[in-house]
């Protein structure tokens, strides 16, 4: 399977994790991924068409290599009917909203229930989802910056955690990713498969980057 594969070798274990990045239009999904992988940020907005992919290779620990396949899903409504296809075999997700646009927070539960209705872990549980309150370099709109309220919201709505992030200022992106990967690893759903390549999406080489866990996460 493409989403979660663990392959044991003499040298250690390799995992391929498919992770979704979802949320309303313009909340900063592509910017977060660009910052995480290429350490770049741009103020220019170009809407994602359909879906984009990025791959990051993490030397998680001396015995574990993780290939993180990030699926950057367009927020535009007209691509919404494709999400079932895009979500297939994902093992984790970021749901992103923009703290400076209240309407994007109001849409979080729509994205979460879309996710939970279309993809599940092999044991039927929801895949771990981390909520990202992005653009934290800006002012909150229509909501207080209230960590206790956000903690409660996450508990009530099945998010494993939430982080305030900024793609612009590079805040908390590595931390949020590390938390999500830890949640994925903690799930007892890592399947060893000899034929794991059969339906893996091919990614272009230029999106791939190898980093040390100590540097990136």
Of 25 and 109, which CB lies nearer to Mg ion in the complex structure? 25
Of 4 and 48, which CB lies nearer to ligand GTP in the complex structure? 48
For ligand GTP, the binding residue among 7, 13, 64, 76 (CB under 6 A) is: 76
Which among 5-13, 59-67, 134-142, 187-195 is the span making contact with ligand GTP, rule CB under 6 A?
A: 134-142
Closest CA to 30 of 96, 119, 114, 113: 96
To ligand GTP, the closest distance from the beta carbon of 8 in angstroms equals 36
Spatial separation of the C-alpha atoms in residues 154 and 157, rounded to whole Å? 5
Which x/- pattern, by CB under 6 A, does the window 28-67 give for ligand GTP? Answer: xxxx----------xx-x-xx-------------------
Closest CA to 120 of 84, 96, 156: 84
134 touches Mg ion by CB under 5 A = no
26 touches ligand GTP by CB under 6 A = yes
To Mg ion, the closest distance from the beta carbon of 48 in angstroms equals 3
Spatial separation of the C-alpha atoms in residues 10 and 194, rounded to whole Å? 15
48 touches Mg ion by CB under 5 A = yes
Spatial separation of the C-alpha atoms in residues 172 and 57, rounded to whole Å? 19
Which x/- pattern, by CB under 6 A, does the window 152-191 give for ligand GTP? Answer: --------------xxx-----------------------
In order, the DSSP letters of 32-96 are HHHHHHH----S------SEEEEEEEEEEETTEEEEEEEEEE---GGGGGGHHHHHTT--EEEEE
**Residues at the interface with Mg ion (CB under 5 A):** 29-30, 48
């Amino acid at each position: 399977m493409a989403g979660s594969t663990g392959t044991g070798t003499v040298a250690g274990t390799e995992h391929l994790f498919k992770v979704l990045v979802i949320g309303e239009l313009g909340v900063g999904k592509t910017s977060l991924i660009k910052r995480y992988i290429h350490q770049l940020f741009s103020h220019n907005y170009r809407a994602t068409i359909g879906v984009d992919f990025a791959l990051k290779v993490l030397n998680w620990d001396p015995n574990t290599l993780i290939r993180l396949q990030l699926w950057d899903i367009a927020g535009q409504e007209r691509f919404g009917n494709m999400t079932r296809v895009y979500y297939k075999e994902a093992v984790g997700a970021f749901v992103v909203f923009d703290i400076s646009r209240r309407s994007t927070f109001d849409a979080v539960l729509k994205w979460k229930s879309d996710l939970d209705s279309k993809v599940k872990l092999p044991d039927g549980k929801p895949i771990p989802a981390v909520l990202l309150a992005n653009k934290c370099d800006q002012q909150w709109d229509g909501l207080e910056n209230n960590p206790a309220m956000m903690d409660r919201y996450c508990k009530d709505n099945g998010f494993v955690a939430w982080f305030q992030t900024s793609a612009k200022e590079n805040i908390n992106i590595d931390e949020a990713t590390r938390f999500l990967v830890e949640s994925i690893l903690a799930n007892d759903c890592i399947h060893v498969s000899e034929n794991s390549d059969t339906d893996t999406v091919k990614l272009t080489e230029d999106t791939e980057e190898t980093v040390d866990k100590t540097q990136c996460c």
